[in-house]
Each structure stands twice: as structure tokens, then as C-alpha cells.
Amino acid sequence: MSSVDESRLHAFVGQAVTDMGAAISGLMLHLGDRLGLYRALADAGPITPGELAGRTGTAERYVREWLANQAAGGYVVYHPAEGTFELPAEQAMVVADETSPVFLGGAFEAIASCYADHDLLAAAFRSGEGIGWHQHDGRLFSGVVRLFRPGYAAHLVESWLPALDGVVAKLRAGASVADVGCGQGASTVIMAQAFERSTFAGFDLHEPSIEQARRSAQEAGVDHRARFEVAAAKEVPGAGYDLVCLFDALHDMGDPVGAARRIHRALAPDGTLMLVEPNADDGLENNLNPVGRTYYGLSTAICTPGSLAQEVGLGLGAQAGPAALTAVLTEAGFSSVRRATETPFNIVLEARP
């Protein structure tokens, strides 16, 4: 048995204790989001636990303990002389404002769903079988859309689409667009709101998500040019699309090559595929950072099991990297693939037939 380096041991114990605090605080974050505690704290200034409880219809004793956890983690500021707590504007952007590009409340909702799916995941580890999207705790579906929508709202129209050659001009003139693996339709609705002359079709296997997408389009007033259908990526109806989009979806598919091949056939001769995927390097050693850690965890609990539950079951994973993604698109028949742009969380690839 190798000797133990005491300094390294103590450092790692400190790391594990930090992670232990983060793990239980993830639940506290989810509760704060779900109960409206963060929203009530935003712009309230210094507030007592009793005042916060009164504003949110919650019990003061629970709120007081919750606020102590939040203060220990640096999410709120504690003023001991007055016995009050305050949510700084910077923290509010992350936990209280769903219109903020850095809002992360949806992430903690999705992660909470993974804990609820613990038994399913443990069984899958032992059997090697997949876990279908429909089998997950319902908070996954709402959490994912709340996780991705802020980034799409901040980047899709302003930077991602303009990074594609000639696509914005087509959208302004009137283009036919398919959003494959659209989930609850956040990306589809954002594009439909921005480009009034274009028509949009969203496709997804999960019927409850499609039903929610239809409601979202109606609420946004774009249901006359944004329609949604239940369809697998390999069976996307229609042809002649000027633009097909895949937002954080290709790596979840059991047969990404087959899906990309169908999209290749569905595109107009001068059409474009925009592939948005989690930002990752091709080498594992270059993804060993906080973002990579998060994505590998989500991939273990959600993305890889979802792929393994489908036909082929390639299990590409959420950190596949641009080389593997390009190989999938090239095998599917695309003649050119380039990295159009990126954010810290996403890469955007442009593929042409």
C-alpha cells in the first residue's frame, strides 16, 4: 500500500467537504427557486426571515434556517447587527431573474430530477440498459427548458444565426425552418418572434413537451407560423428546409448519424444545418474543469442513458467534442462542417449538404 501524503489528504478532504456543502445546497437552491424565495428577495433590500416568510407564504422557522445556509454559501449577505439578509444584484441575476442570460435556476431543477431518478440510474449502471426521456422525473423537462432558454434568448438571434453564412438574410426574406429535438419549443419560439416572414416547425419524440411547445407558441402569439409535431429525428417530415436546427439534442439521440442523414435529405440544396452542442474539447484531459464536470455528470444521468434507450444506442455523450460531431455529420453526407461560433457553454457548428 502506498504511503499517504498528509497535505494532499487534508486538501482533498477540504474539497470533499466543499462538495458536500454544495450538494445539500443544491437542494436549498431548488427550494428557493420553487418557493419564490429568491424572487421575493430580489430588490427587497435587507429583510428579516419573518418578512420573507410573510411575502412567500412560508414558515419563518424554515426560512430562517434556509437563509443561514444561503449566507454561509455567499448567495445572500447577512447583516448581524440588524438580523437581516440581502440578495445582491449579481446573485439575483443568477437565481431570481429568469430573463437574465446567466440564470441557473433551471439547472438546479434538472439536477433535482436526477436525484429523484437514483434507483433508475443505479439499475441502468448494473444492466447497461438505457433510460428513456419519458421515464425521468417530470422536473427534468421543465428544468431543461429553463436551463437552456436564457442562453438561447441571449445568443441565438444576436450571435449564433449571424455567424452562419447568409442565413439571417434568408430568415428576414422568408425561410422554411425545422427545429429537430425542439423539446418544449423555447428555441423555436425565439426564432419565430424574431423573423416574422419565416415559418417554423418543431419536432420532438416527447409528446408532453410538444403539447407545451404549442401552448408556448400560442402565448407568444407565433402559433400561426410555428407548428409542432411529434416525430423522431430520423423521420422528420417535409423537405426543402432552408435551415434545420439541432439545439443540445444530437448527442442525446440513439442514432445521430441516421438523424443527420435524414436532415441532410430534408434540407434544400443550399440549406444549412445549425448544430448547437455543449462546448467541449476533443480530449478528456482538456475538459477537466467545472463546466466539463457539470456536463459529464448530466451526461451520465441523462444524455447517455437516453441514447442507450434508443435504436443503435451510440451513446455519444454530452462532451463529444467537435471532431466526433464533425465525423457524425460527414458520415451522414454533409460536404462541409465548420465551427461558426461558441460561448463558454456551447459550440455552434455550421454544416452544408
Give the chain's domains with CATH numbers: 6-97 (1.10.10.10), 107-352 (3.40.50.150)
pLDDT score for 2: 78
> What CA–CA distance (Å, rounded) separates 23 from 7?
24
Length of the chain: 353
pTM of structure: 0.93
pLDDT higher than threshold 70 for residue 1? no
Cβ atoms within 10 Å of 341's Cβ, excluding its own? 17
Q: What percent of the chain shows pLDDT beyond 70?
A: 100
pLDDT higher than threshold 80 for residue 205? yes
Q: How confident is residue 109, by pLDDT bands cut at 50, 70 and 90?
A: very high
> Which distant-in-sequence residues (6+ apart) come within 8 Å of 140 by Cβ?
110, 113, 114, 117, 302
pLDDT higher than threshold 70 for residue 339? yes
Do residues 116 and 73 make contact, with C-beta atoms less than 8 angstroms apart? no
Residue type, 154: A
Arithmetic mean of pLDDT, 40-57: 97
Nearest to 233 by CA among 214, 253, 251, 217: 253
Arithmetic mean of pLDDT, 69-93: 98
pLDDT score for 316: 95
Largest CA distance in the chain: 70
C-alpha torsion sign, points 155, 160, 162, 166: negative
pLDDT higher than threshold 90 for residue 317? yes
What confidence tens digit (pLDDT) does each residue in 273-298 have?
Answer: 999 999 999 999 999 999 999 999 99
Do residues 63 and 49 make contact, with C-beta atoms less than 8 angstroms apart? yes
Angle, in degrees to the nearest 10, between helices 186-194 and 139-155: 30
Output the average pLDDT for the chain: 97
